[in-house]
Amino acid sequence: SWVRQAEPVREKQVHGEPCTVFRKSQRTARFRIESAVCIGADGLPREFNQSVDFGIFGMANAMWFSGFRLGSPGDEAFRLTEACSKYYPRPPCPDSRVMPIDVYRIFGPPEPLELGDKNTGDALGDLAFVCTQGADAEYEKKVITHWRVNVSQAFGQYSPCNFDGQRNRCLGPPAQLRAVGRRSGQGQGLGRIGGQCS
């Protein structure tokens, strides 16, 4: 983990407990990540802070930890939830009508100019993507492509699908990859089951 490579920078107290702050900076041409964790004498974290800077936007997380109990949580903690054991992957939506939809994708060589096994978005979904992930130098020489396709409304559960440097590839079990997947933009929104059928 990055903590093993982090440098101790100072001592502080979190909720009255002393801890040592370890900091690590990661920089690339695309982004900068600043991470810091405060570790107590028992080797457990008391506070974690991380900021990510993409140039024109960024985000930050802060977490505090307390009430530790060390030991095995027992087998029950690892039992599959009902959502995972009965409903993964989600079955396709009940509406099987075929209808035209407009989708967009940021395209640039060397990926092939085709849609099979690739994520796309409607106008608002792709705009959300560009605003949160695509506004960087990596996209300066790419174009936004517009596609009108006929697709069954029996959407499956969303899978991440992208060009991996050699071919288009979707991740997920075979049952999940039998239907065109759908979700709300950036996983947000109010639709049931992540926007799969709404």
Residue by residue, pLDDT tens for the chain (198 residues) are 788 889 999 999 999 999 999 999 988 776 788 999 999 999 999 999 999 887 666 788 999 998 888 889 899 989 988 888 888 899 999 999 999 999 999 888 888 999 999 999 999 888 887 776 655 566 777 888 999 999 999 999 999 998 888 899 999 889 899 999 999 887 777 788 889 998
Residues 6+ apart with CB under 8 A from 40: 17, 18, 19, 46
Q: What 8-state DSSP symbol labels residue 31?
A: -
- Asked whether the beta carbons of 165 and 183 are under 8 A apart, the reply is no
The model carries a pTM of 0.63
